[in-house]
Amino acid sequence: MSIHNTPTPHNAGKYGDIAETVIMAGDPVRIKYIAENYLDNPVLYNQVRGALGYTGTYKGKRVSVQAHGMGIPSIGIYSWELYNFYDVKRIIRVGTCGSYKSEVKLGSIILAEGACTDSGYGTERLIPGKYSAIADFDLLRRAVENAEKDGVDYEVGNILSSDVFYNQGKFQDEWTKLGVLGVEMEAYALYMNAALTGNKALTVLTVTDNIATGEELTSDERALGMDKMIRVALETA
């Protein structure tokens, strides 16, 4: 049973203000963009620490969108509170990543079936082993169907959630040999929190740069890629 001790130190929303399905992104500007361009009648429920949160409807379905900040510790806090205190059932993270594989196209999306990590997140749970963090299969299957319906280039597979941004090319060869498609900084904690609380999670990523080739999207190309990703996430929500 959830403990509804809301608002929290990080979220001004009251119990009932947040939908059972939440689309999350690290950047609050992206959250504001989604709320203003995709949701009907969005209502702002949070702006504590700049982590904007809105609830509205998408094609008649109640959906919330909220920022989670950067890195595993930050999304770990926000997703834990949403699952445990607000009775959120599904979180879909929309973010960006660097690809480890040269053949993965810039602007395509990666549907993260699983997440490896170099983080110590989860060790405080005293689990006698290494937890394999995976997405919810139903959300993943629906996201694949929606990507195909929308004609979006996509890959499905494993990613790396790293604690360090400025050495993402380190151990690239080793991760690539294991079939890891790319690197970001949050999915592992989201998937673990979903598992610990008996809820669902998925991460959808736009490939903005290719670490293997050194290529990067322009700012205009990034915007176009984000919209593809956002549509897939909202249709899946």
pLDDT for 1 equals 47
Distance CA 237, CA 192 (A): 19
- Burial class from Cβ neighbours inside 10 Å (0-12, 13-18, 19+) for residue 174 reads exposed
Q: What is the token pair recorded at 47?
A: 């702006």
Domain ranges of the chain: 21-236
- Is 209 known to be catalytic? yes
- Burial class from Cβ neighbours inside 10 Å (0-12, 13-18, 19+) for residue 141 reads middle
Out of 17, 27, 136, 209, the active site residue is 209
Strand segments, DSSP code E, in 128-176 are 133-134, 154-161
Whether pLDDT at 138 is above 60: yes
Q: How does residue 177 score in pLDDT terms, banded at 50, 70 and 90?
A: very high
Q: What is the token pair recorded at 43?
A: 């209502």
Residues in the chain: 237
Instruction: Quick: pLDDT tens for 41-88.
Output: 999 999 999 999 999 999 999 999 999 999 999 999 999 999 999 999
Task: Give the max Cα distance, the chain.
Answer: 49
Question: The CATH number of 21-236 is which of 3.40.50.720, 3.40.50.1580, 3.40.50.450, 1.10.3210.10?
Answer: 3.40.50.1580
Integer CA distances (angstroms), 206 to 1, 136, 145, in order: 35, 19, 17
Distance CA 42, CA 55 (A): 5
What does the pLDDT average to over 27-42?
Answer: 96
pLDDT for 168 equals 60
Residue with tokens 């920022």: 67
Integer CA distances (angstroms), 154 to 107, 133, 160, 184, in order: 9, 20, 17, 16
